Structure 1
Amino acid sequence: MTLNSLKAISPVDGRYRSKVTDLENYFSEEALIKYRVLVEVEYFIALCEIPLPQLSGVSSDLFEQLRAIYRNFSAIDASAIKDIEKVTNHDVKAVEYFIKEKFDTLGLSGYKEFIHFGLTSQDINNTAVPLSIKEAIAEVYIPQLNSLLSSLEALAEEWGNIPMLARTHGQPASPTRLGKEIQVFITRIKEQFEVLKTIPNAAKFGGATGNYNAHFVAYPNIDWKVFGTNFVEGNLGLNHSFPTTQIEHYDHMAAQFDALKRINTILIDLDRDIWTYVSMDYFKQKIKKGEVGSSAMPHKVNPIDFENSEGNLGIANALFEYLSSKLPISRLQRDLTDSTVLRNVGVPFAHTIIGFKSTLKGLSKLLLNESKLQEDLENNWAVAAEAIQTILRRENYPNPYEALKGLTRTNDTINKASISAFIDSLDVSDSIKTELKAISPNNYTGI
């Protein structure tokens, strides 16, 4: 089936499709089916390697042919499984029947009943989904986040020594440096990224209610817990959750979503700050020939990329929040609510990637309007008051804060001349007056 983006209900598969095509390899229906096939095939191979006596006739020379079932998995294979599902009305059972057909072609018909042996569908789903998330994060999310961080780091360095009037509560405050303000976001993102990397990609694997009942009754002399851990961690590269009910408890997955949400929240904060700086004329934006900023006002160049990012990251966070609060809750040994919810796990990832790309695009269009930053600093000499009163405190000058408060909290214009006149009126040495007069909004930027 060819997807017509104009008919897509979700903008992820419509308007923004080109921005998130990489994610289809991890979160599409076809991808989920492929990951299920992978787990089923690798499980059968693991049973052969125990070895189970009934599988002694399966040569290890066939393992690569078995792995080719998922390595060469195609859209035609996925459609075949969906056709089987129309009869079974069960998605994982359809995968089992599909692999059984493949066994017939490989001359392995006598071993078909060891496909999905002793398992429940959640042993497949609760390994396939975390594996898809792990690989999507590694192969799509992290490279995109690193691109964004690299762009921010380049701007932080470029603007490292650009003085800028700070604003707290929206009011002029002690000056800062533009590069340092960008560095704040870089550090915040990196710290949360480190948290994300510590969270396990956990998977459940233990039979119908997590106790290996079917495995144990068939082969009581095998340590199935050790087998399950070795399979999940050694073969699939995930962390084995044990004990569990029929399903993964999703606590680690919820923690992942919360960490992803915090990174998005930091970027929303960045988007809003850059948007505000644009509105203050600290930044202008590169103009692309032919683009329209407003259908009515020809002069406008909107900070649309940062707005687009904020909106998409907000949607992503709403979904991550729901996923992290809902998935760890299941009635008794399991209900089916997690199944339909997990099918949406790619959606917040998609909105996140769209947000990342929009922020990156917006950053690439920024043009620093340094003269406007200088103008604001020059118009706000009152911010030097903190520096002056601090030095006066050092010199044990009587009531320095109150003296500066009296100067600055008036409706009179505070500028370089009025600050200089105030300094001249102070009963301090000439060397202190020289020190005080050397302070300006441009150089009072800290470390």
Structure 2
Amino acid sequence: MANSKMLHLYLLAMYLFASAIPSIAQDDAQLDLKSIPISDWLNAGETTEIPWTLIIRDAYLRMDQRLEVGYLTRIRAKDLNRTGSAHELFLVNRISTPDGEWLNAPSVLQQSIEKELPNNVEAQFPMRVCVQPGDYVLWLVLYDRKTGKHNVAKRRIRVPEISKDPLPEVYARLPLVEFPKPRETQEDPVSYVTSELFLPVRNKRPLEIELISTLSPPEQWAGRARLVRSHNENTVGALAALSQLELDIGSMSIAGLDLLRHEVVFEQRDFRKVNWTALMEALQKAGSPHITTKALEERKANGAFFREFLSRRLGFNKSPDSSEGAHRDEPLHVFIVVTGSWLFERGSDLTPLQLEGDCRCRIYHLRFRLNNNDLFDELAKVMKPLRPKTFNLLTPRDLRKAIAEILQDLGNL
């Protein structure tokens, strides 16, 4: 997701080139806040000793169903160079209520600059915070330990309620604000927050839910970096939200498929928390542009691989007696399939899944579309005999509505 880059500090060559330099997150930043008079600075009000630009964006709904506010501080190299060639910059972030009650511990980012920078670059601190609807005050302190100079800014933030929210209780367990947590790798966008959504399933019958996602990007998007990035962001966001469904009775599993290489690249059975490190590694592998000669030769079987995977899953759970009443107390198998719109190479085997009798299962197909003209999906042909309930998704709100409908449907089982 775009999230994976937001804890980086960048040196950008404006209009010419860009290079990324990792920042150091709060617990690792080498700054003891007691060593600076930060309370005095905050009490003294806003000040700007280091020329900078502060940009705060409107709150928006992410695909993983969190509300997020992003903001950015920019410091031009030529302004830094005026006070020396070496700088040790710290950005201290904190949020309060409008009447001054702190809502989080300080979050600190750090960047060291050891030599004079070209005048056509700038240092940036991009940051993001997850929030609940409400009114807040964002407090920022920029401090240069080498020069002793500092800035203080505070900005009011208003996060509106989601109109006609289909999931009005989803944030019941979340803190009002949540900053990024330190992590070992900058490539894991999901570990950005640790709190959990509230998505209860009030099912009376045992359920075995399996999340299935095509981690490899659709064939027709190969080589189009923006579309592949969109596919990855949508996939991770949807899985992050759906994996937090809480069943009264039953279990959840997840599988990630690489249709291009005919592999199940990720699988986790009966999980409590998704192994995001392994899943992100699988996503990276499935999205790699490096394809073996064998995989290229077998491209016309990509759709067949998906069909055979579903067939195996259905066969594993199928009982010789498919009577609904006879198996009322047995778990009902539920598939939640997350894909984009797939178009396969001409002549591909797209024979629909063959069923004998009732599969005694429930299928939901969450299909991401690029835009309103993205109408063609050959993967749906393979699943058609299962009569899936299909949700066409363009926005995070579309996913929110789909989750609400799935929760209600499963709760009636």
Query: TM-score range with shorter-chain normalisation?
Result: under 0.3
Whose strand proportion is higher, 1 or 2?
Answer: 2
Normalising to structure 2: TM-score of the pair? 0.23
Normalising to structure 1: TM-score of the pair? 0.22
Please say which structure displays the higher CA radius of gyration.
1
Whose helix proportion is higher, 1 or 2?
Answer: 1
